[in-house]
Structure 1
Amino acid sequence: MARGAEEALQESGSAAPAASGGGQREPAAAGLCPICLGDLDNAAHVGTCLHTFCFGCIRQWAAVRAACPLCRQRFGRILHTVRADDDYQEYELGPSARHYK
């Protein structure tokens, strides 16, 4: 996870939505991870809202807070290596990651 994003999460306890002003596309729509703002590396989707992030970034994020950085919906699984609607791998979060304050 990008250092700035990790610090922002720890300081605020929540994530700021990705900026999208002046007709610019949101990072995921542009092929960028909303967490690290780099190219998507092993694209993964949050199980509840299907927002897209780097698999490594969202796993690190979930270790601190199991809520989507964009819409703040809680999640308990991450879908990755998606090849088709019924062909993907699923990463389940542990019980301690799903229940946070």
Structure 2
Amino acid sequence: MSTNDLAIAERVRPQSMSLTVQALEKAGLVGRKPHPTDGRATIIQLTKKGSKTLESIFAVREDWLNAVIVEKLSEDERQDLQKGLSLIKRIIETRE
């Protein structure tokens, strides 16, 4: 995505997103490439390091969530959660 598209998607000002992208680029997590149709624009994309970092973050969050569900919720609560997630999925599918 372009920096402008990212700003729209995240509902922030383009200037704020530019600063964020610059910091991510400095850390080696994203890179820029020319836009395929607009010579004035660039596309921001994850680097390999960025992809690995994101996967690691998601894995940590998933492990934490699984541990909470198993350790803190009763069987009945886990079943209720499953039912709730099924309802949320149905709601999301109505948008498609």
For normalisation by structure 1, the TM-score amounts to 0.24
Q: Which structure dedicates a bigger proportion of its chain to helix?
A: 2
Higher relative contact order, chain-length normalized (CA < 8 Å, sep 6+): 1
